[in-house]
A = this chain, B = another copy of it.
């Protein structure tokens, strides 16, 4: 068993973050490690949340936005008042993300076209070189 609990150092090595970062996320109420005396112990839930935090960051979400998203993913953690309101917000978020993917797809296509153009240029440069020899 992984003991289901990890020290701050283990977390840092596993997810490649600094202790400062984990304490910062706790202060911002993104993580809720339990305390054994002074020390923090990170649960499975904390690890799931951290993965989502890091993922969110890669897509340019602010920590505050991520905190709200986390609340959506972990409704079960709290009382389920206003679930349907939460549900609506989640639907909107989903639309955001699908729009983002659309845009990203567009960007990828653009870049691919640019690359095809680049290939042609490279080819013609090689051609010129050959002709010049």
Q: A residues bordering B, Cβ < 8 Å?
A: 55, 57-61, 72-73, 75, 80, 83-84, 86-87, 90-91, 93-94, 97-98, 100-101, 103-105, 107-108, 110-112, 114-115, 118-119, 121-122, 125
B55:A107 contact, CB within 8 angstroms: yes
Q: Given that A60-B60, A100-B58 are contacting pairs, would A90 and B108 also be in contact in the complex, using a CB cutoff of 8 Å?
A: no
Each complex incorporates copies of this chain amounting to 2
CB distance from A50 to the nearest CB of B (A): 15
Q: Given that A60-B57, A84-B122, A125-B80 are contacting pairs, would A115 and B91 also be in contact in the complex, using a CB cutoff of 8 Å?
A: yes
Residue with the highest number of chain B CB atoms closer than 10 Å, among A75, A94, A103, A118: A118
